[in-house]
Amino acid sequence: MIERAGRSLTARLTLLFAGVSTTVLLLLGVLVGVLVERHFVEMDLVLLQGKLELVRHAFARSRSPRAGDDLGQLLEAALVGHHDLAVEVRSSDRTLLHASRDAAIPERLWAPGGEGDEPLAWQAADGRRYRGISRTLSSAPGGDTGALVAVAIDLSHHEHFMRSFRQALWSVVALAALLSGVLGWLVARRGLAPLRDICSVAAGITATRLDQRLTAAAIPPELAEVVQTLNDMLARLEESFRRLANFSSDLAHELRTPVSNLLTQTQVTLARERSADEYREVLVSNAEELERLTRTIADMLFLARADNDLLVPHRETIELADEVGSLCEFYEALAADSGLHLEASGSAIVCGDRLMLRRAISNLLSNAVRHAARGGRVTVHVAGSATGAAVVRVANEGETIAVEHLPRLFDRFWRVDGSRQHGGEGAGLGLAIARSIARAHQGDIAVTSGSGLTVFELRLPAGSATGEAVMKASPPGEHAEAGERRGMAALR
């Protein structure tokens, strides 16, 4: 059972979509607010410049620059209807000539450098905010009596509009963010629908329904690779289950025969009183069956370790010609009984486990002797290849193996003639063990058969002629003890 941790993919996509949408809307709202504020500044500047021109004309029409009453009347007439405007007129020595009753012009607007294209904003004592500009005027066109005029506008109306605008804007942003979250959830749910379909189909796949596959017809291209990977995994699982089922069946069959023989022979023996010699004969027969069971179980443990990559060869430099010659001497007597002629030739050096490689070659040689035609020839040739590998070729003259059987010769318990009984032929694990040993040494085994000649090729990486060895660290005596145990099985 998988423990759920964190948010679901739908929730993550929803939050991501809502977060991105909200961020974009917030940035857009800030940008709109800045642009609106800037637009108001530009509008105020145009308005102030226009009113400044009216003041300039009014000031030019006045009879005297210090005729305050005439100037005030002209200014009030020029600015009639603009209650949000404030005007102050000062002489060149900063004497106040006229000021509207709402005027709150700060002194910094009169300071040198106060004139410019950008208006100045400030807050009056009553809390109101103003924006204004100042200019230098003359008493009349071409006159030489100067005056300072400042025009300001009350920003209360603008601020009220901006408050309402911001409130509406952020309300829309909040609503849009909520709507984005809901829409994001719907989109994520709909977009992840193919994943739910995959889960529903995968949930129906069991050990008895491993032949089912996920269909990629309605799957988006982004998930096609996932579906293909899952289908490949299901294919591997189906093949593994099939092999496991066949292996279990074959193993039960292989173990049932000797156990049945032991049980039957024991029951028959116990059916009546027998002599000591008869009991001894039965025990000897039972011992043979038990030895056969022991070999089968040991071979199965060896193959189980090989399947789980637990075979770690003890590596040393090996001259294959010496090992092949020794094995040929061992099988010479068995070959002579069948009228066979054994030949060994060639030489090659490899780096590997001596006893394991001896067992692999022994299994190949035993298989060749057992299936060679009477009076035929069994040859073992050792040589190097163009790829730098050492090759051991074991060939025997005999019945040609059909092409359809060749790929399965290295399967466990496989026999070309399925009806053939055990006899002295072993459990059918010799070739499987030989292939496991070859692969543990980064090599492999291949077989060809034709025109009455069957050839097994054991390929191994070539070793160094200097005799350097890569040793596996182990306690003293471990290799010796393991070598004795494996030596007993190497010639079986």
Predicted confidence band of residue 52 (pLDDT cuts 50, 70, 90):
confident
List pLDDT tens digits, range 425-465: 556 788 888 888 888 888 899 999 988 899 999 998 876 44
pLDDT at 233: 87
Distance from the first to the final alpha carbon of the chain: 46
Predicted confidence band of residue 29 (pLDDT cuts 50, 70, 90):
confident
Residue 77 pLDDT greater than 70, yes or no: no
- Among 36-50, 103-117, 438-452, where is mean pLDDT lowest? 103-117
pLDDT at 487: 39
Domains and CATH numbers, the chain: 9-163 (3.30.450), 221-305 (1.10.287), 311-490 (3.30.565.10)
Question: Measured between alpha carbons, how far is 424 from 370 in angstroms, rounded to an integer?
Answer: 9
Strand 453-461 versus strand 389-397 pairing type: antiparallel
pLDDT at 468: 36
Nearby residues of 211 by Cβ (< 8 Å), 6 or more positions away:
238
Q: What is the mean pLDDT of residues 234-244?
A: 82
Residue 255 pLDDT greater than 80, yes or no: no
Q: What is the mean pLDDT of residues 172-183?
A: 85
Q: What is the mean pLDDT of residues 177-203?
A: 82
390 closest CA partner among 464, 334, 454 = 464
Q: How many CA atoms lie within 13 A of 133 on its CB side?
A: 20
List pLDDT tens digits, range 299-323: 777 777 777 666 777 888 889 999 9
Higher-scoring residue by pLDDT: 138, 165: 165
- Among 5-14, 69-78, 205-214, 265-274, where is mean pLDDT lowest? 69-78
Contact 162, 59 (CB under 8 A): no
Residue 491 pLDDT greater than 50, yes or no: no
Residue 67 pLDDT greater than 60, yes or no: no
List pLDDT tens digits, range 113-152: 555 567 888 888 777 888 888 888 765 444 445 678 888 8
Q: How many CA atoms lie within 13 A of 451 on its CB side?
A: 0
Higher-scoring residue by pLDDT: 484, 346: 346
pLDDT at 379: 92
% pLDDT > 90, the chain: 7
Q: Tell me the three-class secondary structure of the chain, residue by residue.
A: CCCCCCCCHHHHHHHHHHHHHHHHHHHHHHHHHHHHHHHHHHHHHHHHHHHHHHHHHHHHHCCCCCCHHHHHHHHHHHCCCCCCEEEEEEECCCCEEEECCCCCCCHHHCCCCCCCCCCEEEECCCCCEEEEEEEEEECCCCCCCEEEEEEEEECHHHHHHHHHHHHHHHHHHHHHHHHHHHHHHHHHHHHCHHHHHHHHHHHCCCCCCCCCCCCCCCCCHHHHHHHHHHHHHHHHHHHHHHHHHHHHHHHHHHHHHHHHHHHHHHHHHHCCCCCHHHHHHHHHHHHHHHHHHHHHHHHHHHHHHHHCCCCCCCCEEEEHHHHHHHHHHHHHHHHHHCCCEEEEEECCEEEECHHHHHHHHHHHHHHHHHHCCCCCEEEEEEEECCCCEEEEEEEEECCCCCHHHHHHCCCCCCCCCCCCCCCCCCCCCHHHHHHHHHHHCCCEEEEEEECCEEEEEEEEEECCCCCCCCCCCCCCCHHHHHHHHHHHHHCC
Residue 198 pLDDT greater than 60, yes or no: yes
pLDDT at 1: 44
Q: What is the mean pLDDT of residues 21-33?
A: 86
Question: What mean pLDDT, rounded, does the chain reach?
Answer: 77
441 closest CA partner among 467, 475, 465, 470 = 470
Residue 477 pLDDT greater than 50, yes or no: no
Question: Measured between alpha carbons, how far is 395 from 405 in angstroms, rounded to an integer?
Answer: 17
Predicted confidence band of residue 474 (pLDDT cuts 50, 70, 90):
very low
Phi, psi of 218, rounded to the nearest 5 degrees: -100, 20
- What is the crossing angle of helices 276-307 and 478-490, to 10°? 120
Q: What is the mean pLDDT of residues 46-72?
A: 69
Contact 428, 415 (CB under 8 A): yes
